[in-house]
Amino acid sequence: MDNEIISAIESKFPKEVLSSASEDKKILLTVKEIKFHQILSNLKDMGFDHLSDVALVDYINEGEFELIYHLWSHSKKIRAIVKTRIPRESPRIKSIIDLWIGAQIHEREGHEMFGVEFEGNPNLTPLFLEDWEELPPFRKDFDIREYVKREYYGEDKGYFG
């Protein structure tokens, strides 16, 4: 069944699917950003009704962000992982909130932690951080140790020292 889904997607989007793999009820698709929304929408129509997670990885050396969408089908009991990459400079991608409502908060978290713009998401206000003016904290070029030393271990802030 896994291979059927992969071949269906590959025949529909021959140029956009960069690589695909399947093992033991898991599907892995790496796609181009340009058609990723259509591919996800197709997967949803195939029965992948549960969006488990949206993960972001900062590949600073390659200058790219990777977005990883974890899908699960309640009817077929198959997991699908769809990956796409966007440039690190001015990162923006189309929101998938129209496919899964649950994506809203995952995208909100991604915006807060990585600074990725999700076009079409109505509410991208910060979730966890208060009055944050630095770089988004989960980016690799944000130095968390330097920040902690400056904020909490400074000369006048003797509490932790």
Partner 1 sequence: MERTKGILAKSELEEREISFTTIPFGPQHPASGHVHVSLKCDGEEVVDLTFHPGYLHRGFERLMEYRNHAQNSMLVDRINVLDPFSCEMGYANVVEIAAGIEAPQRGKFIRTIMAELGRIQSHITWLGIMCMALGLDSGTRIAWGDREKIIRLNELATGGRIYPCYFIPGGVRRDLPQGFKEEALKALDYTENQVKLYDNLVFYNTTFVMRLENVGILRPDDAIAMGITGPNLRASGVVADVRKDEPYDAYPYVNFKVVSLEKGDAYSRALCRRGEIIESISIIRQLLERIPEGDFRVKWGLTKKVAKGEAYFCCEAARGEFCYHMVSDGSERPYRVKVRAPSFSQNLAAFPYLAKGAYIADIPAIYWSLDSCPADMDR
Which residues contact partner 1 by CB under 8 A? 25-26, 49-53, 55-58, 68, 70, 74, 77, 79, 81, 100-102, 104-106, 109, 127-130, 137-138, 144-145
State how far the alpha carbon of 51 is from the alpha carbons of 81, 106, 154, in Å: 10, 10, 43
Strands (E), 1-158: 17-23, 26-31, 50-59, 64-73, 78-87, 92-94, 117-119
Shortest Å, Cβ 11 to partner 1: 26
Token look-up 């960069």 returns 18
Nearest to 73 by CA among 46, 54, 38: 46
Residue 128 CB, shortest distance to partner 1, in Å, is 4
For the bound state, the minimum distance from the C-beta of residue 117 to partner 1, rounded and expressed in Å, comes to 19
Task: Output 21 or 34, the one with its CB closest to partner 1.
Answer: 21
Q: In the complex with partner 1, which residue's Cβ is closer, 9 or 113?
A: 113
